[in-house]
Amino acid sequence: MRELGRRLAKLLRAGDLVMLSGELGAGKTTLTRGLGEGLGVRGAVTSPTFVIARVHPSLGDGPPLVHVDAYRLSGGLDEMEDLDLDVSLPESVVVVEWGEGKVEELTEDRLQVVIHRAVGDTTDEVRHMTITGLGERWASADLTVLIA
Ligand SMILES: Nc1ncnc2c1ncn2[C@@H]1O[C@H](COP(=O)(O)OP(=O)(O)OP(=O)(O)O)[C@@H](O)[C@H]1O
Ligand SMILES: [Mg+2]
């Protein structure tokens, strides 16, 4: 998952929104950690307990990574608006866990990553992923580099 995050980082640029879906422990944060490594940003990507959005500035001249865990956000768009993601998105890569129904209004262009994990089998470390590019931004993007 981490390696996939690293590969995904190569496709991303400022203004990109990535939505990560999948049950608790599916690997959303793990993927984001790899993404942060691939983008070369400062600070370890972690599962926030209280912090809902964390900005990881680039160590080079790339875009910062804004990592949002919206799990504890219940109020939908009002609470989301307080995060000012619309302000940071144009110059950042924004990755959101648990963002369904909360961040879609930010942009029509987004990469939708769904992580499936075999339910009930705790020994199964294998994840299956569905990655869908939505909107103009991703219309002609070559996502096969992720599986090469
Ligand atoms: N193939 C795998 N990919 C990702 N994580 C894995 C894999 N195999 C085992 N794991 C473990 O599963 C856990 C995934 O946790 P992670 O925090 O990334 O999930 P999450 O989807 O962010 O969960 P949450 O919904 O609580 O935020 C980690 O402890 C990780 O070590
Ligand atoms: Mg997480």
Q: For residue 24, what is the domain's CATH number?
A: 3.40.50.300
The per-residue pLDDT for range 14-35, each reduced to its tens digit, is 999 999 999 999 999 999 999 9
Beta pairing, strands 110-117 & 65-69: unpaired
Place of tokens 């983008």: 39
13 in Cβ contact with 93 (< 8 Å): yes
Enclosing H/E stretch for 30:
helix 28-39
Query: How far does the centroid of ligand 2 lie from the alpha carbon of residue 36, in Å?
Result: 14
- How far from chain centre, in Å, is Cα 61? 20
Mean pLDDT of the 125-142 span: 93
CB proximity list for 79: less than 8 A, separation 6 or greater: 73
Burial of 19 (0-12, 13-18, 19+ CB in 10 A): buried
Task: Return the ligand number nearest the Cα of 123.
Answer: 1
Range of the domain at 41: 2-146
- Residue with the bigger pLDDT between 79 and 102: it is 102
Give the pLDDT of residue 121: 60
**Among the atoms of ligand 1, which is closest to the Cα of residue 26?**
21
**Among the atoms of ligand 1, which is closest to the Cα of residue 97?**
27
Question: For residue 57, what are its two tokens?
Answer: 């500035």
Residue with the smallest CA separation from ligand 1 atom 18 is 27
Domain count, the chain: 1
Instruction: Among 29, 67, 72, 126, name the best residue to mutate to test ligand 1's pocket (greatest count of ligand atoms within 8 A of Cβ).
Output: 29
Q: Is the dihedral of CA 80, 86, 92, 94 positive or negative?
A: positive
How many whole angstroms separate alpha carbon 126 and alpha carbon 147? 15
Give the pLDDT of residue 117: 84
Of the candidates 134, 128, 124, 126, the one whose C-alpha atom is nearest the C-alpha of residue 115 is 128
DSSP code of residue 144: G
